[in-house]
Copies of this chain bind each other. A is one copy, B any other.
Amino acid sequence: MNTTKKVAIGVDVGGTNTAIGVVDKEGNVMVKDNIATPSHGDIDRYISDLATAIKELINSVKLLNPDIEILGIGVGAPNGNYYNGTIEYAPNLSFRGVVHFVKLMRNHFSEMEALALTNDANAAAIGEMIYGGAKGMKNFVMYTLGTGVGSGVVVNGDLVYGHDGFAGECGHTTLVPGGRLCGCTALGHLEAYCSAPGMKRTAFELLAHYNATDSLLANKSFNELDSKMIYEAAVAGDKIALEVFEKTGRWLGQGLADTVHHLSPEAIFLFGGPTAAGDYIFKPTKESMEQHLLPIFKNKIKILPSQLKSGDAAIVGASALVWKELEK
């Protein structure tokens, strides 16, 4: 007897590309595809192209397994608003203003049981909850460290969207009053210190401070240097690179402690490029967080690497929205 295999579709809307995948309940990507996120800003054409690509992907996966059942589509997008199903004023997308993404998609997929959208960091948090290390956890927080720093907050098993759907922007808490200029124009935000570009900025500050002409990082321009090079230099014992991780961890730990004081989570998950450095980043982060915590929280809160596979994490996270919707 054949049993139906239930799957979800994940869509990750990025500035250049939109990735689509069919994901099973265990978080495995069965098939995937990519279309360009257009620069023309014509949302109707883009949605129509996206719908076509999704339908083709569904057909291709049904050829492999005719008994498949598609339960829904989950979308992760910058400035995605779960309540309204909209993408609102996303600086890196060509679509202006407020895009009613879910409503437009519904025209093409009227039969889908679940069709939901949230921002990428929230999608990662739900992915961790459905497929990853947060299975069974009711209270945890996800930090995504990349070009920016995003976050998703889970309380009592549900994602916190707040009053207007935009909760979970922990990357924009203030670490250093009057400190570094953040991409959002405010000063001293966590993102300006703990993102991949933040690490590069720290490296350049340290090179300048120590006049470190002998550092492995001293021959790279500001536009050449990236966090992977800093990691490789740290592994080779470069003092500047090692101090970059030390300082990044100290800043991040301060921010995580603020999160703990708000929410008292069971764990905080870290996701993204800089976390590949393992103990170089986790150790100082943990030490710093503990230093900033009230005694009642000390040695209680786990800092864990995300268990989502980095390559497919965005698709997988977006698809997790579908299972979460169907729980309701």
Interface residues of A (CB under 8 A from B): 79, 88-89, 138-139, 153, 155-156, 158, 160-177, 184-186, 254, 257-259, 261-266, 291-297, 300
In the complex, what residues of B have CB within 8 A of residue A166's CB?
264, 296-297
Counting every copy of the chain, the complex holds: 2
In the bound complex, CA of A177 to CA of B259 (Å): 15
In the complex, what residues of B have CB within 8 A of residue A295's CB?
89, 184-185
In the bound complex, CA of A88 to CA of B139 (Å): 21
| A161 and B264 contacting across the interface, CB-CB below 8 Å | yes
- Known contacts being A163-B266, A291-B186, is A261 close to B155, with CB within 8 Å? no
A36 CB to nearest B CB, Å: 26
Top 6 A-B pairs ranked by shortest CB distance? A162-B264, A167-B264, A163-B266, A173-B258, A139-B163, A169-B261
| A254 and B177 contacting across the interface, CB-CB below 8 Å | yes
Query: Taking CB as reference atom, which chain B residue is nearest A171?
Result: B261
**Main secondary structure on chain A at its contact with chain B?**
loop
- Known contacts being A79-B296, A186-B291, is A163 close to B265, with CB within 8 Å? yes
Pairs A–B under 8 Å by Cβ, sample size 23: A79-B296, A88-B296, A139-B162, A139-B163, A153-B262, A153-B263, A155-B155, A155-B160, A156-B160, A160-B264, A162-B265, A163-B266, A164-B296, A164-B300, A165-B264, A166-B264, A166-B296, A168-B262, A174-B257, A174-B292, A184-B294, A186-B293, A258-B258
| A258 and B174 contacting across the interface, CB-CB below 8 Å | yes
In the complex, what residues of B have CB within 8 A of residue A263's CB?
153, 160, 162, 167, 262
Query: Taking CB as reference atom, which chain B residue is nearest A160?
Result: B155
- Central interface residue in A138, A155, A186, by most chain B CB within 10 Å: A155
- Known contacts being A139-B162, A160-B155, A294-B186, is A170 close to B264, with CB within 8 Å? no
